[in-house]
Amino acid sequence: MSQELDFIVDMMEEQLIKGTLRWLASFKEVYRDYALGSFSIPIYAVGSLTEKGFFLSRIFSAFVTPKYKIHFLLYTSDVLSAKSMRELILSCKRKFGSEDWIFITVVQTNRIEKAVRSAVKSLADKQVGLAVYSLAAKDEVSSNNVLGRALKQRLRLTEARFEPLNVPDYLKSITVMFTSGVLLLVLLIIMGTSLNVPLSLLVILAFSIIAAYPLYRRWFHTAFLVNSKGFILWKGQDVAEGKWADFTDISLHITPQHDVHIRLHAQKAVFDIPLSRVGLSRRETYAAIKQRLKKRTD
């Protein structure tokens, strides 16, 4: 498997684990190198449309949401023939339930053959969504049904975005809003306005919790987008970009607050990725970036 295909497989696994594909289904199990007939599937995930959130959502889901399973497969190859594609679909239909939805994404290094392109567009099974991507031509084709169009429009193969809510920073934003509201309340009292102080404080608190979110996004929110070429890091309104080709080594950097950052070393500078703020595992992220830098220098 090529380096870029390896990266796509790793990114897809991260997207599934982080819940980026919630628009597709609620996936609870992810398999690597899943055996399906004569095929070895690099990424296979199974889930459902059932809600797993609040109690009322679960009750609604139990009565309204269909109970069939959702299957997602990422298959990689140098080139896929029309015959192999049909065999892959038949293997899925034999393995999975007759009413299940199946999403198949094929990524290949070479160009898409004309026969494959025609077979994908003419796929008649409405319960199978199929999308084929070519890395060589930066081209793609999808089945002309609802599931296929969803894959084409919304699936991002070569990038993953991580942006968890940082609770301490969100509380800071609430504090700022609440303090501002209290100061305004004090000013109104000084001016002689008759107010119900306990009720006013409750209103200010409720308003602060809601209004703090835009403030948090503007000042504190951290997001990290990574793809095969490099990455983008947002800290509030500050944006920093980097390319893997610019870095030669990696280390762990411990801040005075004992936060751990991934430190990327270039010839004349370093770049720090705040792991806790972007919700990434220290060990897994270090190993993945180390491997990527190693492959680049080999």
**Burial grade of 29 (CB within 10 A; 0-12, 13-18, 19 or more):** exposed
pLDDT at 174: 95
Residue 279 sits in the same domain as residue 193: no
DSSP letters of 183-223? Answer: HHHHHHHHTT----HHHHHHHHHHHHHHHHHHHHHHHT-EE
CATH number of the CATH domain containing 241: 2.30.29
Residue 180 sits in the same domain as residue 288: no
Print the domain residue range for 171: 167-217
Residue 70 sits in the same domain as residue 18: yes
pLDDT at 97: 86
Residue 138 sits in the same domain as residue 7: yes
CA atoms within 13 A on the CB side of 24: 30
Residue 246 sits in the same domain as residue 291: yes
Residue 9 sits in the same domain as residue 148: yes
Domain count within the chain: 3
Examine residue 126 and state whether it is found in any structural domain, yes or no: yes
Residue 178 sits in the same domain as residue 241: no
| Domain end among 139, 157, 175 | 157
CA-CA-CA-CA torsion sign (284, 290, 296, 298): negative
Examine residue 266 and state whether it is found in any structural domain, yes or no: yes
Residue 238 sits in the same domain as residue 113: no
CATH number of the CATH domain containing 134: 3.40.1350
Angle at the Cα of 239 from the Cα atoms of 243 and 233, rounded to 5 degrees: 55
What is the SS3 assignment for 254?
Answer: strand
Residue 31 sits in the same domain as residue 122: yes
What pairs with residue 48 in β-bridges? Answer: 26, 69
Residue 149 sits in the same domain as residue 244: no
Side chain identity at 128, as an amino acid letter?
V
Residue 212 sits in the same domain as residue 277: no
Q: What is the pLDDT along the chain (298 residues), one digit of tens a residue?
A: 566 677 778 778 877 887 777 777 788 899 999 999 899 999 999 988 765 544 444 444 444 445 678 899 999 988 889 999 999 999 999 999 888 899 999 998 888 999 999 999 989 888 899 999 888 877 889 999 988 888 887 777 766 778 888 889 999 999 999 999 999 999 999 888 888 988 999 999 999 999 999 999 999 999 988 877 889 999 999 999 999 889 999 999 999 888 899 999 998 899 999 988 887 778 878 887 887 787 665 5
